[in-house]
Amino acid sequence: MGVSPVAGARHLAALPGGSAPLRHSGPGPKSLGWRALAPIRAGTIVPLMKVSYFNYHYDVEGSAIGAATQIRAIAAALTRLGHRVDVQFRTAKKPGEHRDYLGLKKIPGLRRYGHVPRLIWRNFALIREELKLLDQFRPDVVLAVSSYANFSALAASRRRRLPLVLFAEAPLEYEYRLFYPQYYRYPWLSRGLEGINVRGAGQVTCISEVLKGYLMRYEAPAAKLHVVPNGVDHLAFTPREPDPELMARWRLQDRVVIGYIGSFEFFSGVERFLALAKRIIAAHSRVVFLLVGKGRVDDAIRRGAESGGLGPHFRFAGSLPHQLIPRLLSVMDVVISPYKEDYLFYGSSMKLLEYMAAGKAALFPALGQIKEVVCDGYNGRLYEPGDHDTMALKLLELIEHEDLRLQLGAQARLTIENHWTWDIQAARLAHVLQLARENRPVERS
């Protein structure tokens, strides 16, 4: 570890003009995409609201933990703005629960062809339950996370003549084809339901411009599609001194630590990554790769590192609770996310925002919304997706130049504070919720 990221803020203030970058290629910060995310106009008053917030994630303590973190953060930020929010995890499994449906899931044909019909059928039970929830809470507006084969929030809000804002965080049909090939997805039906929800909602929020472009296929008025990206808890994720306990646990003293945190779902090629690591370690023997997360890919990296003689330069932390991430980031000097280049990058990376909020020098591929957040050489480093030679050169530069790491990390922190906190995004979301209220269905006489 070198100079701490906490010192980075002091380092930035000491530079001429307070923020002039040491190295900077490409467009200046004024051309960044986050300038297009205009803040709510000064003087705009959003009345306080009661919001019923429905989502349909299942494994909220496992594969959907990131989504659950997002939902709780949005609800907390809306609450800080004075709104009342009733968060309902409608289909989350209980701790230790295992649903085998009387063994029917073990029948291969029934499991493959019956899964989506079951998701559709459960809407009718969800509608009954959600009508009761709406009657109890009596919200001004319903906010519902889009979910594959789901239409219960749309049906329940219409029955109660309540405005609905659809929170779209993924292209559902595309994502289901990618992640759940074991199930027959009835594509015409799933696309139809996705379109019904997009057209039927009063307003729709999308977490990225890429996702907004995807949803335009459903011919909803463009004016009701709003980009409200993810944010970050900038008070939890801050520049901090390296955590001594974690430094000792993973033997990181006097090391330059390259960190990755994530699910490995979109990791770009094990062999290519190991070749990159071998090249970096050959040039700098003090380098250690600290990988946090769990999946088939990290097991493959572990085996490849051991067989290639790189084992002493790798640390595998496994899957850890989200509240430990700020401590984990404190021991990292450079953070990376080598996403696949052949993937529709429709997301709004919370990991990138957390890295930047922690004042870390981040190296990312120039994909989707990443290009709107990071300006190469100003608040992070970018490389073209698939260009591993450039990735290696920029990673070597960050390893070799401590002052550059501090510079980029300090500017990254300022970017987050000014544009990407959850409070800023919640204000945008509240504006969309109010638009839905202003156009709510007329009450029947």
pLDDT tens for each residue of 420-443: 999 999 999 999 999 999 986 544
Question: Using alpha carbons only, what angle is made at residue 315 by residues 311 and 321, rounded to the nearest 5 degrees?
Answer: 155
Can you give the three-state secondary structure of the chain, one letter per residue?
CCCCHHHHHHHHHHCHHHCCCCCCCCCCHHHCHHHCCCCCCCCCCCCCCEEEEEECCCCCCCCCHHHHHHHHHHHHHHHHCCCEEEEEECCCCCCCCCCCHHHHHHCHHHHHHHHHHHHHHHHHHHHHHHHHHHHHHCCCEEEEECCCCCCHHHHHHHHCCCCEEEEECCCHHHHHHHHCCCCCCCHHHHHHHHHHHHHHCCEEEECCHHHHHHHHHHCCCHHHEEECCCCECCCCCCCCCCCHHHHHHCCCCCCEEEEEECCCCCECCHHHHHHHHHHHHHHCCCEEEEEECCCHHHHHHHHHHHHCCCHHHEEEEECCCHHHHHHHHHCCCEEECCECCCCCCCCCCHHHHHHHHCCCEEEEECCCCHHHHCCECCCEEEECCCCHHHHHHHHHHHHHCHHHHHHHHHHHHHHHHHHCEHHHHHHHHHHHHHHHHHCCCCCCC
Task: Choose between 445 and 303: higher pLDDT.
Answer: 303
Q: Is the dihedral of CA 215, 217, 220, 223 positive or negative?
A: positive
- How many Cβ atoms sit within 10 Å of the Cβ of residue 322? 14
pLDDT of residue 442: 41
**pLDDT category, 384, cuts 50, 70, 90?**
very high
**pLDDT category, 279, cuts 50, 70, 90?**
very high
Query: What radius of gyration, in Å, describes the C-alpha atoms of the chain?
Result: 23
pLDDT of residue 101: 57
Q: Report yes or no: 420 and 373 within 8 Å, Cβ to Cβ.
A: yes
Q: Domains along the chain? A: 5-31+233-420 (3.40.50.2000), 34-231+423-438 (3.40.50.2000)
| Burial call 14-31: b when 16+ CB within 10 Å, e when fewer | eeeeeeebeebeeeebee
402: left (phi over 0), alpha (psi -120 to 50) or beta: alpha
Q: What is the mean pLDDT of residues 400-416?
A: 98
- How many Cβ atoms sit within 10 Å of the Cβ of residue 84? 14
pLDDT of residue 37: 53
- Average pLDDT of every residue of the chain: 87
Contacts (Cβ under 8 Å, ≥6 apart) of 330: 5, 240, 241, 242, 243, 246, 358
pLDDT of residue 102: 54
Determine the Cα–Cα distance for residues 427 and 98; give it in Å rounded to an integer: 38
Integer CA distances (angstroms), 112 to 48, 108, 361, 433, in order: 46, 6, 44, 38
Task: Choose between 40 and 121: higher pLDDT.
Answer: 121
- Tens of pLDDT, residue by residue over 150-207, are 999 999 999 999 999 999 999 998 888 888 889 998 988 889 999 999 999 999 999 9
Q: Report yes or no: 367 and 347 within 8 Å, Cβ to Cβ.
A: no
**pLDDT category, 270, cuts 50, 70, 90?**
confident
In percent, how much of the chain has pLDDT > 90?
69
Q: What is the mean pLDDT of residues 58-79?
A: 89
313 closest CA partner among 338, 337, 280, 336: 280
